[in-house]
Amino acid sequence: MKTLITANMDDDSLYRLENDIGLDVEYHPIAERDGRFSPEEFIDRLDGVEILIVGFEGVSEEVLDRVEDLRIIACTRGGPDANVNINAATERGIPVLYAPGRNAVSVADFTLGLILAATRHIAHSHHLLHTGRYTGEPQSDSASGGEREDVTWGIAKGSPYVELKGPELANKTLGIVGLGAIGKRVAQRAAGFEMDLLGFDPYVDAEQMADLGVEKADIDELCREADVVTVHTPVTDSTRGLLGAEEFDLMADSTYFINTARGAIIDQDALLAELQAGTLRGAALDVYDEEPLPDDHPLLELSTVVTTPHLAGAAEEVIDRHSKMVADDIEALLNERTPEHIANDEVLTVETSGDRD
């Protein structure tokens, strides 16, 4: 079966698709291209293709109207609706496979890194050193007495020890907005730092949260009580703009705000206004209203804000994980078994869903 892969895949899964499953694979990973294929080139490459494994190209209704042989779409993302028109695929009887949770570990790790970077000034102090703020003539021993040497930058007024002091995480409250695959792992990691945990998620009940060591709260309570607020919810009609001026106003001046989810979940202008006014202590952002950020964006002028370029899901293991997930499910479909991760299981026929119970 002719197969087009425009996503990034690992070598083991490529070998398996070609040699074990027996697919005729044409591989054009986006990591080796300058960007997405244009719609016309993408459609041309789909000529005769029966299986598509896609990462970031748009599989729109127009694309589906112009391809005749496509039988399976596998999207290597956790949210395939970002670039695949699932309703259009469903109308044509095409199953859409995907990879939920593929980057949950990666994003959870990164989130804790951002919390530490923001609260303990790790990123900011790195920048200050590299720009010469705290460099100077070394001192061999600045302790002035005692029985051991104690080399230090100094602890007097103006020293990094004084200016960049931040809070410990133990006994601070972490408010987690969204307790899905990522939010749960953030909770597990934060518990290791001895943080108290509050959670907001209408789809997770109090008992389920308690099993994670998380106390269920409404969004207003979470914003009022948390020392650090972190966002881990997908963009839906109900979450778009979930955190706006009212919610940021509820947060204490000492609160840190973290977002590794999507920029559309918050009112970024409202967050910026709070940070500029000093009514939030700091923020760490991996996602934005516009990406990439313009080089003159006001967020980049704030020393209280850690900014990263949408890297939370960019761990080496993520490609291995999503590759295996989609390969497993393609093999299942081709052998008339139920795939584990399918966005539109209503398209499955009796024959391809015979093992369901």
Instruction: Identify whether residues 229 and 303 lie together within a single domain.
Output: yes
Does 213 fall in a domain? Answer: yes
Does 289 fall in a domain? Answer: yes
Does 340 fall in a domain? Answer: yes
Catalytic positions are: 262, 291, 310
Helices 122-130, 104-119: crossing angle, 10 deg rounding: 70
pLDDT tens readout for residues 94-106: 999 999 999 999 9
Instruction: Identify whether residues 52 and 86 lie together within a single domain.
Output: yes
Q: Quick one: how far is CA 220 from the chain centroid?
A: 24
pLDDT tens readout for residues 109-150: 999 999 999 999 999 999 999 999 999 888 766 566 677 777
> What pLDDT is recorded for position 68?
93
In the 3-class helix/strand/coil scheme, how is the chain assigned residue by residue?
A: CEEEECCCCCHHHHHHHHHHCCCEEEECCHHHCCCCCCHHHHHHHCCCCCEEEECCCCECHHHHHCCCCCCEEEECCCCHHHCECHHHHHHCCCCEECCCCCCHHHHHHHHHHHHHHHHCCHHHHHHHHHCCCCCCCCCCCCCCCCCCCCCCCCCCCCCHHHHCCCCCCCCCEEEEECCCHHHHHHHHHHHHCCCEEEEECCCCCHHHHHHCCCEECCHHHHHHHCCEEEECCCCCCCCCCCECHHHHHHCCCCCEEEECCCHHHECHHHHHHHHHHCCCCEEEECCCCCCCCCCCCHHHHCCCEEECCCCCCCCHHHHHHHHHHHHHHHHHHHCCCCCCCECCHHHCCCCCCCCCC
d(CA 330, CA 53): 10
Instruction: Identify whether residues 271 and 246 lie together within a single domain.
Output: yes
> What pLDDT is recorded for position 141?
62
Contact 33, 13 (CB under 8 A): no
Contact 285, 311 (CB under 8 A): no
Ranges of the chain whose pLDDT falls below 70 = 140-145, 349-357
Residue 185 to residues 189, 221, 297, Cα–Cα distance (Å): 6, 22, 32
Instruction: Identify whether residues 38 and 179 lie together within a single domain.
Output: no
Residues facing residue 296 across a β-bridge: none
**What CATH number did the domain enclosing 272 receive?**
3.40.50.720
- What is the token pair recorded at 164? 């960049």
Place of tokens 């931040």: 166
Instruction: Identify whether residues 289 and 334 lie together within a single domain.
Output: no
Does 111 fall in a domain? Answer: yes
Share of the chain above pLDDT 90, in %: 91
Instruction: Identify whether residues 261 and 339 lie together within a single domain.
Output: no
Does 113 fall in a domain? Answer: yes
- What domain count does the chain have? 2
> What pLDDT is recorded for position 351?
42
Instruction: Identify whether residues 331 and 274 lie together within a single domain.
Output: no
Does 126 fall in a domain? Answer: no
Instruction: Identify whether residues 96 and 111 lie together within a single domain.
Output: no
Instruction: Identify whether residues 47 and 194 lie together within a single domain.
Output: no
Instruction: Identify whether residues 212 and 329 lie together within a single domain.
Output: no
If we measure between CA atoms, which residue out of 306, 215, 198 comes closest to residue 251?
198
Angle, vertex CA 315, rays to CA 312 and CA 317, nearest 5: 140
Does 158 fall in a domain? Answer: no
> What pLDDT is recorded for position 258?
98
> What pLDDT is recorded for position 247?
98
Place of tokens 């479909």: 333
d(CA 236, CA 242): 10
> What pLDDT is recorded for position 350?
41
> What pLDDT is recorded for position 143?
61
d(CA 207, CA 154): 49
- Residue-range definition of the domain harbouring residue 238: 104-120+166-307
Which backbone phi and psi does 285 adopt, to 5 degrees?
Answer: -125, 130
d(CA 202, CA 186): 18
Does 34 fall in a domain? Answer: yes
pLDDT tens readout for residues 174-192: 999 999 999 999 999 999 9
Instruction: Identify whether residues 302 and 329 lie together within a single domain.
Output: no
> What pLDDT is recorded for position 155?
83
Interior/surface letters 307-344, b for 16+ CB within 10 angstroms, e for the rest: bbebebbebeebbbbbbbbbbbbbbbbbeebbbebbbb
Instruction: Identify whether residues 71 and 178 lie together within a single domain.
Output: no
Angle, vertex CA 276, rays to CA 222 and CA 288, nearest 5: 70
> What pLDDT is recorded for position 152?
77
> What pLDDT is recorded for position 243?
98
